[in-house]
A = this chain, B = another copy of it.
């Protein structure tokens, strides 16, 4: 058992254009930090939260990270007291898997604190439990890549079937987060409950192409496959200037561009850091031209999941 662990867990992009509810990937930046310390007492206490503008509950039973660690401890019958600091280093409600990042950081830190009794994959259910507490639903397309890194396919939910998809070494992600808020629930409700078979066929051709493109790797196949004819046309209506931002990214040479999770963040994938950077500036400018403040993140695909920053 360790005394203290400080970890980073990454933001994640779910849906990835044509992979609604089944595909997600992790990025190097942004992400959350969690510090855990063992104490003489019992149970989980949240000592401080920074970077959330006071929006997150400090009651561990109401807090994503708290719920995840409590579920982990219950499962392993750990009764040692744990004190937590949560440092939000990414925006909340941004479509970047903020709650999954906190949950993944916390449960990964707890696992390290107690000398790794479980694999990262085995930690997924605890983050799902916390996601359910935070959002009402438990989609694994943020939680799984936050814990495993890289691209992760959620083939199915009954039972949970998580498949790591090998990812090309050279792949960069641009994220632009406009300072508007979309409630996950609204983004769900706007979707129709059914779709045309011909659109479904287009979509499953594209997801098959994207998986093949990532695994070969074949960048042009990735480019041709990153099309969403089902979700993006509807959800993009909730994001002002979506088409302009996407066009700016495509003009900069990205492989593809779509909504991150349920938005409002928009992501793009690129073959080089230069293109990813140029796309970021172009996307920023497109939002600024309609006076929407925004932040840009450019990083490689995170291949490892959470990482230890400090431990003793």
Instruction: Give A residues with C-beta under 8 Å from B.
Output: 18-23, 153-156, 161, 163, 165, 191-198, 200-212, 215-216, 218, 221, 224-225, 230
A156 to B218, CA, bound (A): 16
* 27 pairs from A and B in contact (CB 8 Å cutoff): A19-B204, A19-B208, A20-B204, A21-B201, A153-B208, A155-B206, A155-B208, A155-B209, A155-B224, A156-B209, A161-B209, A163-B209, A163-B221, A191-B197, A193-B198, A194-B196, A195-B195, A195-B197, A197-B230, A200-B200, A200-B204, A204-B207, A207-B208, A208-B211, A211-B211, A211-B212, A215-B216
Contact status B215-A153, CB under 8 Å = no
How many whole Å from A38's CB to the nearest CB in chain B?
Answer: 39
Tell me which residues across on chain B come within 8 A of A192, comparing CB atoms.
197
Contact status B205-A195, CB under 8 Å = no
How many copies of the shown chain assemble into the complex?
2
Q: Closest residue to A214 on the B side, CB-wise?
A: B212
Tell me which residues across on chain B come within 8 A of A21, comparing CB atoms.
201, 205
Supposing A165-B212, A221-B163 touch, asked if A156 and B205 sit within 8 A by C-beta, the answer is yes
A201 to B155, CA, bound (A): 9
Going nearest first, the 9 A-B pairs with the smallest beta carbon separation are A155-B209, A22-B205, A200-B200, A204-B204, A204-B207, A211-B211, A155-B205, A208-B211, A215-B215
Residue in B161, B165, B203, B215 whose beta carbon sits within 8 Å of that of A200 in the complex: B203
Tell me which residues across on chain B come within 8 A of A163, comparing CB atoms.
209, 212, 218, 221
